[in-house]
Structure 1
Amino acid sequence: MADILTPALGESVTEATIAKWTKKVGDPVKKDELLVELETDKVSLEVVSPADGVLGDIKAAEGDTVTPGAVLGSVSEGGAAAPAKSAPAKDAPAKQAKPAAAASETVDINVPTMGESVAEGSMGKWLKKSGEAVKKDELLVEIETDKVAVEVSAPADGVLTIAADEGATVTPGQKIGSVAASGDASAAAPSAAAPAPAQAHAAAPANTGSAQVSGARNDTLSPAVQRVVAENNLDPKSIAATGPKGNITKADAIAAIGQSPTPAPAAAPAAPRADQPREERVKMTRLRQTIARRLKESQNTAAQLTTFNEVDMTNVMALRSQYKDAFEKRHGVKLGFMSFFTKAVIAALHEIPAVNAEIDGTDIIYKNHYDIGIAVGTEKGLVVPVLRDADTLNLAGIEKGIAALGKAARDGSLSLDQLQGGTFTITNGGTYGSLMSTPILNAPQSGILGMHNIVQRPMAINGEVKIRPMMYLALSYDHRIVDGKEAVTFLVRVKELLEDPQRALLDL
């Protein structure tokens, strides 16, 4: 066995990044054949094979940072690669050749395609360790990108070897591990079956009626589910699983929060902070880093300005109250306020097209389609899935579309296509009790409407003081493309359509 070592990088160079492996584990190699390319902040270096043989191990995956003298991998010396190339002897029965090949077969675990605009992701926590047995399609790890979390499952039954550790930056197609299939899996079977007594106890009949759920443990849950379980003190055994492979999804865990029995209150400690550090440093997730970067870029790029108005929600609330039961019975979805706001926004965008446009260099791109972004708060941060061609949908279609996008956002199952290409955004801070705010543009869009809390306030109506349900509206817009007159007109138009919903039906 010959180690592949990181060469000296130069007096002032202390580290390098693995740029590319030219061979995979199990591939035959020749002495002095190029195996891996390294990149430093000054030069690119090539590392060659130290001997003839088979590439037996890769310890530093593409994207990893290494230092001089670090072991990058190893080569099994000798003629180990010869049987793979040579044909079986004439006297050897064909039946004997297959088991040998199956026993040594490895299947790579590669980073899946994460979308056209996503070039990299960060490795989450592996749910299995190297050397443990895995089953085909069993969830192994989540890769977090700046938009969505991508699940990676085992490609085959066998024994896992991990090539990219938690926190490592990986790119689409990169190898992050492998599974030694077939015969090798049986070797790990005894160790995997060791905790049988505990599992047998967990499989006792439970209220959920699901044996798989009853045996669920924290180390078999995805990281997103683990966070919900830990933060809300849930028992995985009591959560009903609805995942496609019988696994507990994040939505299952969230749904179980209100159903979990409230634990008895513990005695308050004499000093609440006595066992906690004064400060805690936590690395930002990729999604949070992207949110921060994009919001700051939006502020730095656009000439942002916000105009306000208020809307009397009396008529919309009365209409909703009158028809909500019939609406839900007919369409199978509840009638909310978002569909009314979306319809009003689309009508206003028709009238003021600059708010539905964007700037590209010295050009203005006017959009003749209305793809409305709906801001959704999730555990990981704010995301804005897009309701496509919202102008072609009726109220029921809008409510169904928004409900589906919201569920996918909270489950972490949004696709990249659902997060791109919006022409205007609506955000509802009122769901959290916000009275007024100035929303930041979702670049490159030129407008965003902020909804807020509905509050009973005294209003002067025809010379009389009456209590009305009022909501403040805020329109943030890019003053480079939208003039103040257009912005105010847009917001007034939304106000009029909400205060008199029949106008939309009459196209007034």
Structure 2
Amino acid sequence: MATEVVTMPQLGESVTEGTIGQWLKNVGDEVEKYESLLEVMTDKVNAEVPSPVSGKVSKILVDPGTTVPIGTPICEIEVEGAGSGESQETPAPEAAAPQAAEPAAAQTAEPSRPAPSTGEIRGRYSPAVRRLAEEHGINPAEVAGTGAGGRVTRNDILKAVENQAQAPAAGQAATAQPAREAATASFAVESAPAVIEDGDTVEPLAPVRKVIAERMVRSKQTVPHAWLMVEVDVTGLTELRSRIKDEFKEREGVSLTYVPFMMRAVVEALRAVPELNSQWNGDSIVHKKRINIGMAAATDRGLIVPVVKDADQKNIVGLAKATQDLVKRARAGRLTMDDLSGGTFTLDNTGAVGTVLTYPVINAPEVGIVTMESIVRRPVVVGDMIAIRSMVNICLSFDHRVVDGAEAGKFLQVIKKNLESIGPNTSIY
């Protein structure tokens, strides 16, 4: 019997580390090849990681909530049928094993230690580390790395920027600039502590909530959000859906919601204003060829964003089936890593929870996110008369580094025109 060492997988092209969400198998449990072994969270995706082999979990090397670099050993699985000459255990690399066992708090504190004085660059740097270091004038060689083998991680650079901002040059009075740099450079800046009184309940932060908080803070600190909203008359759309929804469910096997209509309108708007279908890349803008729409979905484990790939190649029926399949698998915890990656723009159906106006946070490095609010029947002016119409607000947050107000306004107008053109007899095929 031999031992297979499972390492932290690569969950995205630019992802350099991952956080253990929860172990789905415990020590002593049998696991089949491709069966889900654990949940991993990164700044890009949340995903279940399948076991690479069949066997018995013999050791768990990294506790839930701990963040480790890609390639770090995280567990060991005993595999039957191996030759007798093989070792019972495969030791983890010396530099990586202690790091994997350290608590997350220790890893965060590590960058504050003095950097080695040799000035030697230890190993290669990931694109994310290199770009962040260049943006803030940090020399990675002077930063103490907390990754495996002393590798400098993104968090190490952020901590170095924070420390630099907190130490103004000698002889100069502290100004607002260092504080602004610290606030925008690192999501690790401590917020004001809560006041805990008798009778209050303190709930430890779940790993998924930590990742969500990190993403939201990073987006708000590094992306200059701007916001626009338009009102849309969807009376024709509501009449169409009401007329065909029962027949559609019987024929197609899925419910007909408003989401596929909105997604189709977003696709047409991205075609008309391709600047919204792009990503910020530090000193460049990446214009995406494919239109992959991320769809925010609430689950009992937190907010995730599965992606409808090539949404521009699907009609209303195809979008209805794709979106409901993703939502169903998201709530059952059966999404794959591919389902959660590759998004170029995000749509959030906030109206499902009854809102009429929201200011969504951009899913960076994307440059826009749009919401569809609750459809409300209310009196509006139509020509010279007042009529009761079904109205909906469409809200857009956009990255003002990439998109200007004129482009954002055109984007919303295309969505408005598309939705308002739908009538009771519009074909969905």
**Contact map agreement 2:239 2:424 (CA 8 A) in 1:** no
Aligned to 2:38: 142
Q: Give the letter for the 1:174 counterpart.
A: P
Which residue, 365, 376, 385 being the options, matches 1:455?
376
Q: Measure the CA separation in 2 of the matches of 1:354 and 1:488.
A: 12
> Are residue 174 (structure 1) and residue 73 (structure 2) matched?
yes
Secondary structure of the structure 2 residue equivalent to 1:335 = coil
Q: Give the letter for the 2:32 counterpart.
A: D
Aligned to 1:414: 335
Summarize the alignment of residues 491-506 of structure 1 with structure 2, pairs less than 5 Å apart.
Answer: 491-501=412-422
Q: Give the letter for the 2:20 counterpart.
A: S
Q: Give the letter for the 2:333 counterpart.
A: G
Summarize the alignment of residues 23-62 of structure 1 with structure 2, pairs less than 5 Å apart.
Answer: none
Deviations 1:468-499 (A, max 9, x none): 22111111111222221221121122112111
Which residue, 482, 487, 507 being the options, matches 2:408?
487
Q: Which has the larger radius of gyration?
A: 1
Q: Measure the CA separation in 2 of the matches of 1:165 and 1:368.
A: 39
Structure ranking higher on relative contact order (CA contacts 8 Å, 6+ apart):
2
> Are residue 348 (structure 1) and residue 246 (structure 2) matched?
no
> Are residue 336 (structure 1) and residue 233 (structure 2) matched?
no
Deviations 1:385-414 (A, max 9, x none): 111111111111111111111122112222
**Contact map agreement 1:352 1:490 (CA 8 A) in 2:** yes
**Contact map agreement 2:4 2:76 (CA 8 A) in 1:** yes
Secondary structure of the structure 1 residue equivalent to 2:371 = strand
Aligned to 1:209: none
1:308 Cα deviation from its structure 2 partner: 1.0
Aligned to 1:284: 206
Q: Measure the CA separation in 2 of the matches of 1:112 and 1:288.
A: 20
1:128 Cα deviation from its structure 2 partner: 4.6
1:428 Cα deviation from its structure 2 partner: 1.0
**Contact map agreement 1:371 1:390 (CA 8 A) in 2:** yes
Structure 1 pair 153/497, CA: closer, same or farther in 2 (3 Å)? closer
Q: Name which of structure 1's ranges 287-296 and 394-403 shifts more when overlaid on structure 2.
A: 287-296
Q: Measure the CA separation in 1 of the matches of 2:10 and 2:51.
A: 15
Identity, % of aligned pairs?
31
Q: Measure the CA separation in 2 of the matches of 1:155 and 1:387.
A: 30
What TM-score results when the alignment is normalised by the length of structure 1?
0.54
Which residues of structure 1 form unaligned runs of 5+?
Answer: 1-104, 183-275
Which residue, 41, 51, 59 being the options, matches 1:162?
59
Aligned to 1:372: 293
Structure 1 pair 333/299, CA: closer, same or farther in 2 (3 Å)? same
Q: Measure the CA separation in 2 of the matches of 1:450 and 1:311.
A: 13
Q: Measure the CA separation in 2 of the matches of 1:356 and 1:178.
A: 43
1:165 Cα deviation from its structure 2 partner: 6.1
Q: Measure the CA separation in 1 of the matches of 2:212 and 2:304.
A: 8
Secondary structure of the structure 2 residue equivalent to 1:124 = strand
Aligned to 1:473: 394
Structure 1 pair 157/401, CA: closer, same or farther in 2 (3 Å)? closer
1:111 Cα deviation from its structure 2 partner: 4.0
1:441 Cα deviation from its structure 2 partner: 1.0
Aligned to 1:115: 11
What TM-score results when the alignment is normalised by the length of structure 2?
0.63
Aligned to 1:13: none
Structure 1 pair 333/431, CA: closer, same or farther in 2 (3 Å)? same
Secondary structure of the structure 2 residue equivalent to 1:430 = helix
Summarize the alignment of residues 382-401 of structure 1 with structure 2, pairs less than 5 Å apart.
Answer: 382-401=303-322
1:163 Cα deviation from its structure 2 partner: 4.4
Secondary structure of the structure 2 residue equivalent to 1:437 = coil
1:288 Cα deviation from its structure 2 partner: 2.4
**Contact map agreement 2:31 2:37 (CA 8 A) in 1:** no
**Contact map agreement 1:118 1:145 (CA 8 A) in 2:** no
Q: Measure the CA separation in 2 of the matches of 1:140 and 1:319.
A: 42
**Contact map agreement 2:369 2:397 (CA 8 A) in 1:** yes
1:122 Cα deviation from its structure 2 partner: 2.1
Q: Give the letter for the 1:145 counterpart.
A: M
Q: Name which of structure 1's ranges 172-181 and 425-434 shifts more when overlaid on structure 2.
A: 172-181
Structure 1 pair 293/457, CA: closer, same or farther in 2 (3 Å)? same
1:277 Cα deviation from its structure 2 partner: 5.2
Q: Measure the CA separation in 2 of the matches of 1:481 and 1:279.
A: 43
Summarize the alignment of residues 184-223 of structure 1 with structure 2, pairs less than 5 Å apart.
Answer: none
Q: Measure the CA separation in 1 of the matches of 2:251 and 2:265.
A: 23
Deviations 1:58-109 (A, max 9, x none): xxxxxxxxxxxxxxxxxxxxxxxxxxxxxxxxxxxxxxxxxxxxxxx34446
Q: Measure the CA separation in 2 of the matches of 1:322 and 1:394.
A: 19
1:334 Cα deviation from its structure 2 partner: 2.4
1:125 Cα deviation from its structure 2 partner: 5.1
Aligned residue pair count: 304
Structure 1 pair 493/279, CA: closer, same or farther in 2 (3 Å)? same
Secondary structure of the structure 2 residue equivalent to 1:334 = coil
Structure 1 pair 145/364, CA: closer, same or farther in 2 (3 Å)? closer
Which residues of structure 2 form unaligned runs of 5+?
Answer: 82-197
Structure 1 pair 336/481, CA: closer, same or farther in 2 (3 Å)? same
Structure 1 pair 502/142, CA: closer, same or farther in 2 (3 Å)? same
1:503 Cα deviation from its structure 2 partner: 13
Deviations 1:243-291 (A, max 9, x none): xxxxxxxxxxxxxxxxxxxxxxxxxxxxxxxxx9522140331x32222
1:157 Cα deviation from its structure 2 partner: 6.2
Q: Measure the CA separation in 1 of the matches of 2:18 and 2:383.
A: 60
Q: Measure the CA separation in 2 of the matches of 1:154 and 1:366.
A: 35
Q: Measure the CA separation in 2 of the matches of 1:136 and 1:448.
A: 39
